[in-house]
Amino acid sequence: MECPDCSKVNWVVVREKVEIQTRFVDLGTGSPGRKKYTKNWRKEETKKERIIGVRCNSCDLILTDKHLEGREVGIKEIHATKGVLLENQAMNKFLE
């Protein structure tokens, strides 16, 4: 499938990974002034991950439902390990 903007075939899936880190700080009695850290930054176990979408790697267009209007298929699912699932739009309408 070609990109509707630049006609190239160069798709990528974009995901965002947020890493949470913490660092201990000694607030003392809560008096005014700068309070120092007592240890180094430490990674938390949980990493938050979010799929942003399918993007053209040539012109940076993010593919949306609007770009797929009038086509046979739409994006049903973007899975982190399984891949991108395209679904027949006609079947979708039939089931509604």
**What's CA 68's distance to the chain center, in Å?**
20
**Beta carbon nearer to Zn ion, 54 or 56:** 56
Is the Cβ–Cβ distance between 18 and 52 less than 8 Å?
A: no
Min dist CB 6 to Zn ion, Å, is 3
Q: How far apart are CA 64 and CA 51, in angstroms?
A: 13
Q: Taking CB under 5 A as the rule, which mask of x and - marks residues 32-71 in contact with Zn ion? A: ------------------------x-xx-x----------
Region of residue 71 (phi > 0: left; psi between -120 and 50: alpha; otherwise: beta): beta
Window 2 to 31, contacts with Zn ion (CB under 5 A): 3, 5-6
Residues of the shown chain interacting with Zn ion in the complex, contacts defined by CB under 5 A: 3, 5-6, 56, 58-59, 61
